[in-house]
Amino acid sequence: MNFDLLVSTFEQTHHHFWQQASKAINVSLTLRNWLTGYYIVEFELQGEDRATYGENLFDELANKLKSIKGIDRRSLYRFKDFYTLYPQIAQYLLDNTDNSVLSLISPIVGSLTPQLEICEKVGLPTPQSKQLYYTPVEKLLNKLSYTHLEQLLQMSNPLKRAFYEVAAINGCWSVKELKRQINSLYFERSGMSTKPQLLSEITNSKAETLLPTDIVKSVYAFEFLGLKTKDAVEESDLEAALIDQLQNFMMKMGHGFCLVARQKKILIGDEYFFIDLVFYHRILKCHVLVDLKVEDFNHYNIGQLNTYVNYYKAEVMQPDDNPTVGILLVTNKNNALVEFATAGMDNHLFVSKYLLELPRKEELEVFITNEITKWNR
């Protein structure tokens, strides 16, 4: 064995066990969510005091479980849907888990023997229903994260859901890619195509693929492991380093910036988003949202920032606050671009005042360019 072989062997070993760890975390998280949905359904059907809670069950549960990161009213409804739409996971539990896991079901349904009773209790598909569109459970759990599955839960059509399951697995799609294909009506376009296999090949040749690290860096994995989003970002990550420096840069400018949050988590509809930096400007009396994208400018970026600005207008602004402003920083290796989102500001004088108090566009571009230069040395 020479030195190069030593390094290569270590890298291969690390990659192998990293993948194993990623899969283990993903499977555990997914099974926890499925079992939580199962508990809820069982309680609604036969809980001794279910009448006491009635329609308030999810609110009461969310309140009692608020110490568990990531559990809220919305997620509990999703877990119930997950259990209902994926009954085949019951068989996986029977075949692949030990008694310590199966005992978690006992408090809800009582005895777990014989196996037939378990199947009936947790809704294992009947031989007739097995003819429906069921993707092998091992594939679902090992190839898709719970974040993928949550996108699929929103589909009432089982054929459509199975289509995207198979497509995402075969194409190794990232969650972002799955969303993109759903929004592009890939299922419908495939049904209309005379050569669906050709469409599949073209689609996958352009698709953003899933990496093993993506699973453990998902929002749900962070919460399941009790981590903050930043805790799971490598120190060498360019975006994290830029945000660190950007925060200090803006705080030192002396223009009245007060830091409110980093990686501010907001819920819009059924989807979570994270705003890189949120400040409150004590002179302008408004929130300032900063979003950094380590990529070229595109209209999706500015549209997303405008969405954040409008969210703050609707959900966060107080009556005496001035309109929220957003700052989008977009970068690649060669240049920097800054855009301001001033959604809802129809008073040009007011916009001018904002631009006087906020960092100048040129200052921000110079800052980003300098930081990238340091990074590339």
- Is 230 domain-assigned? no
* Domain shared by 209 and 241, yes or no: no
The pLDDT tens digits for 212-242 are 666 656 666 666 666 565 554 443 456 666 7
Mean local confidence (pLDDT), 200-210? 83
* Domain shared by 137 and 22, yes or no: yes
Q: CATH no. for residue 296?
A: 3.40.1350.10
- What is the DSSP track for 199-248? HHHHHHHHPPBPPHHHHHTSHHHHHHTT--GGGGS-TT-HHHHHHHHHHH
d(CA 327, CA 305): 8
- Is 306 domain-assigned? yes
- Is 281 domain-assigned? yes
* Domain shared by 171 and 249, yes or no: no
* Domain shared by 71 and 203, yes or no: yes
* Domain shared by 78 and 178, yes or no: yes
- Is 223 domain-assigned? no
Q: How many helices (H) and strands (E) does the chain have?
A: 20, 5
Sequence letter at residue 23: K
* Domain shared by 48 and 179, yes or no: yes
Tell me the C-alpha to C-alpha distance, in Å, between residue 69 and each of 81, 222, 225, 265.
20, 9, 9, 13
Expressed in percent and rounded to 5, the helix, strand and coil fractions of the chain are 60, 10, 30
d(CA 339, CA 365): 10
d(CA 107, CA 58): 19
* Domain shared by 128 and 240, yes or no: no
Whether the bond between 114 and the residue before it is cis, its omega within 30 degrees of 0, is: yes
Q: Residue 352: what pLDDT?
A: 61
Q: Residue 329: what pLDDT?
A: 84
Mean local confidence (pLDDT), 126-133? 44
d(CA 324, CA 252): 21
The pLDDT tens digits for 45-76 are 887 788 888 888 998 898 888 888 778 888 89
Sequence letter at residue 128: Q
Which tokens hold the place of 168? 């995402």
- What is the DSSP track for 167-193? HHHHHTB-HHHHHHHHHTTHHHHHHH-
* Domain shared by 40 and 107, yes or no: yes
- Is 13 domain-assigned? yes
* Domain shared by 208 and 264, yes or no: no
* Domain shared by 356 and 277, yes or no: yes
- Is 226 domain-assigned? no
* Domain shared by 104 and 243, yes or no: no
Which tokens hold the place of 205? 């040749």
- Is 264 domain-assigned? yes
Q: What is the pTM of this model?
A: 0.62
Q: Which of 216, 244, 279 is the last residue of a domain?
A: 216
Residue 271 is part of which domain span? 236-376
* Domain shared by 251 and 199, yes or no: no
Q: Residue 103: what pLDDT?
A: 65
Domain count, the chain: 2
